[in-house]
Amino acid sequence: MVQFLVELKGNRRIRRDVFAFTAMARGFAGVGEVDEAQYWYRSMEMYDFRPMKVVYSSLLPGVCKAGDLKFAFELCKDIFAKRILVDEAIVQEVVDALVKGSKQEEAEEIVELSRTRMDISSSSYVSLPKSSLVAEAY
């Protein structure tokens, strides 16, 4: 899989659009190649592509699974800064990973961002007290 992705990376005939960049970032994140996933995520910005919900929904699980909590935290903060509506399960997955990785302060920051920046009346993580959400990760 990694070899296939590396070969695709060098193929100049691949269309340069947000969907191709998302597929490459997701593919690399899915096999634990977080540095390559970051490359494709950052390349979107270089080409003035605006990452959509699917970018974050695709990247975050792989990044959390690979254990790159710094990048997961950065992506999650981007979600709130850009006011992108993602499934609450994605945010919960990041919070869980941060807590399990002893990043309590970062987990609490994500919870606080979810409470203050997202206007989602149906999301359970917004209505829970901060300590409850973080406690769920244990």
**What does the pLDDT look like over 90-137, one tens digit per residue?**
899 999 999 999 999 999 999 998 887 655 444 444 434 444 455 555
Running DSSP on this structure, what letter comes out for residue 137? T
Q: CA–CA separation, 94 vs 53, rounded Å?
A: 15
Total structural domains in the chain?
1
Tell me the residue range of the domain where 121 lies.
2-136
> Alpha helix locations (H) across 33-138?
34-46, 53-66, 69-81, 88-100, 104-117, 124-127, 130-136
Residue 5, pLDDT > 50, answer no
Per-residue model confidence as pLDDT tens digits over 69-98: 999 999 999 999 888 888 888 899 999 999
Residue 71: closest CA among 83, 54, 59: 59
- Percentage of residues of the chain with pLDDT beyond 70: 73
The CATH number linked to 29 is 1.25.40.10
**0.75 exceeded by pTM:** no
In angstroms, the Cα distances linking 82 to 6, 65, 70, 72, 76 are 30, 24, 18, 15, 10
Residue 14, pLDDT > 80, answer no
- Mean of all residue pLDDT scores within the chain: 78
Residue 11, pLDDT > 70, answer no
- Mean pLDDT along residues 30-49: 86
